[in-house]
Amino acid sequence: MSPILSVHALGIRRGGRLLFEQLSFEAGPGDFIEVRGANGAGKTSLLRAIAGFLRPSAGAVEFSAAAAGLHFLGHQNGVKGAVSARAHVDYWVGLFGGAASDALERVGLQAQAELPARVLSQGQARRLALARLLSAPRPLWLLDEPAAGLDANGRDLLAGLIDAHRREGGVVVAALHESIGSAPTQTLNLGAA
């Protein structure tokens, strides 16, 4: 089983302070990597470095050539208040080269599809951001505290989406404070060493 994502001896500095170094792991199809650590341990920085937004101070992130592309769900939802939920999904389908999908139905927002995103609650906006993961199939999902703002129902939904993605051979790397339903294949503890 060849890895989709491999991280070699990664080290990240933010503002002159070393967050972590010599971090290595691999993830193949179906893997779910859980990233744990205290506030400021570098969970978000790790995810942003894997996504390519942040330049690591040492080490490298490699993707298998066959499985390119990733989705990133950060603290910000990437949602515009003036635009309807349906228009968001249409935009993401265009941006990520997906096909017209049932993403809104799968995250339970079909009733709010035509509403501008500014009237959505925080949890509903988070569900809309989850719909982005479904707007185009991409093998790697990077999720930064994905359950933030979600109710119990929403957390079940999130666990279901992660399980479905893993069954299809996808990889999930998620920064979490408490476990969600899906069982991780590996847990990285940042700042523990």
Partner 1 sequence: MKAIIATFWRDVALLWSGGGGALAPLGYFIGAVVLAPLAMGPDRTLLAAAGPPLAWVAAALAVLASLEKLFQADLEDGSLDQMLLSDTPLEALVFAKGAALWLVVGLPLAFAAGPAAIALQAPLERVPVIIVSLLLGLAAFIGAGLVGAAVAAGVKRGGVLIALLVLPFFAPPIIFGASVAAGQDIDAALALLAGCALFGCVLGPFAAAAALRLQAE
Looking at the Cβ atoms of 116 and 191, the one nearer to partner 1 is 116
Instruction: Read off the amino acid at residue 121.
Output: S
Looking at the Cβ atoms of 12 and 27, the one nearer to partner 1 is 12
Size of the site for partner 1 (CB under 8 A): 29
Cβ(26)–Cβ(19) below 8 Å: no
The reply to whether 169 sits near partner 1 by the rule CB under 8 A is no
The reply to whether 71 sits near partner 1 by the rule CB under 8 A is yes
The reply to whether 110 sits near partner 1 by the rule CB under 8 A is no
Q: Which stretch binds partner 1 (CB under 8 A): 36-44, 88-96, 150-158, 164-172?
A: 88-96
Q: Which stretch binds partner 1 (CB under 8 A): 30-38, 44-52, 106-114, 169-177?
A: 44-52
Residues 130-159 that bind partner 1 (CB under 8 A): 132
Distance, CA of 136 to CA of 138 (rounded, Å): 6
Q: Which stretch binds partner 1 (CB under 8 A): 20-28, 49-57, 153-161, 178-186?
A: 49-57
Distance, CA of 113 to CA of 184 (rounded, Å): 32
User: DSSP for the chain?
Assistant: ---SEEEEEEEEEETTEEEEEEEEEEE-TT-EEEEE--TTSSHHHHHHHHHTSS--SEEEEEE-TTS--EEEE-SS----TTSBHHHHHHHHHHHHT-----HHHHTT-GGGTTSBGGGS-HHHHHHHHHHHHHHS--SEEEEESTTTT--HHHHHHHHHHHHHHHHTT-EEEEE-SS--SSPPSEEEETT--
Residue 5 Cβ vs partner 1, minimum distance, rounded to whole Å: 15
The reply to whether 51 sits near partner 1 by the rule CB under 8 A is yes
Q: Which residue in the set 3, 30, 59, 87 belongs to the binding site for partner 1 (CB under 8 A)?
A: 87
Q: Which stretch binds partner 1 (CB under 8 A): 36-44, 84-92, 162-170, 184-192?
A: 84-92
The reply to whether 18 sits near partner 1 by the rule CB under 8 A is no
Contacts with partner 1, residue ranges (CB under 8 A): 48, 51-55, 69-72, 74-80, 82-83, 87, 90-97, 132
